[in-house]
C-alpha cells in the first residue's frame, strides 16, 4: 500500500477539497436555479432544477478528484516498488563484491 507523506504534494488538500467542491456546486446550482426560475416566473422549479444540476456537477467533480488521487497514489506506489527493486539489486551486487573481496583476502593469506 502506498505511504501518504504529509505535505509531499496535494494529497490531503485534494481530498479535503472534495467536500468543499460538492457543497459549493450544490449551492451555486441552487442559487442560479432560484435566480433563473425567478426571472422566468417559477422560483421553486428553478431551485429544484438548479439543485439537481448542482448536485450532479458536484458528484462528477468528486469522482474526478478521487480518480486523480488514485492515479497519483498508484504512480507513487509504482515508483516506490521500482526503487525498492533497484535497492535490492544494488544490495545484492554490493554483497557479492564484498564476498569476492573476502575470498580474495582469504586466498592471499
Q: Which domain holds residue 73?
A: 11-103
pLDDT of residue 59: 94
CB-count exposure of residue 54 (10 Å: 0-12, 13-18, 19+): buried
Instruction: Give percent of the chain above pLDDT 70.
Output: 65
Q: How many CB atoms lie within 10 A of CB 19?
A: 11
- What band does 28 get if pLDDT is binned at 50, 70 and 90? very high
pLDDT at 106: 62
Q: Does 86 map to a domain?
A: yes
Q: Give the torsion through C-alpha atoms of 85, 91, 95, 101, to 10 deg.
A: 120
Q: What is the pLDDT of residues 46-86, one digit of tens each?
A: 999 999 999 999 999 989 988 888 888 888 888 888 877 66
The pLDDT assigned to 72 comes to 83
Give a yes or no: residue 40 inside a domain: yes
The verdict on residue 1 lying in a domain is no
In a domain, residue 109? The reply is: no
Cell numbers for 44, please give them.
421553486
What pLDDT score was predicted for residue 1? 46
For residue 79, the Cα-to-chain-centroid distance in whole angstroms is 15
Cell numbers that stand for 48 in this block? 429544484
Domain count across the chain:
1
Amino acid at each position: 500500500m502506498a505511504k501518504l507523506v504529509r505535505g509531499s504534494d496535494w494529497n490531503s488538500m485534494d481530498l479535503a477539497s472534495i467536500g468543499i467542491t460538492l457543497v459549493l456546486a450544490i449551492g451555486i446550482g441552487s442559487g442560479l436555479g432560484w435566480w433563473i426560475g425567478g426571472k422566468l416566473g417559477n422560483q421553486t422549479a428553478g431551485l429544484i432544477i438548479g439543485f439537481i444540476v448542482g448536485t450532479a456537477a458536484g458528484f462528477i467533480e468528486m469522482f474526478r478528484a478521487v480518480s486523480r488521487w488514485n492515479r497519483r497514489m498508484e504512480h507513487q506506489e509504482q515508483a516506490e516498488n521500482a526503487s525498492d527493486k533497484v535497492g535490492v539489486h544494488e544490495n545484492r551486487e554490493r554483497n557479492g563484491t564484498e564476498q569476492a573481496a573476502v575470498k580474495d583476502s582469504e586466498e592471499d593469506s
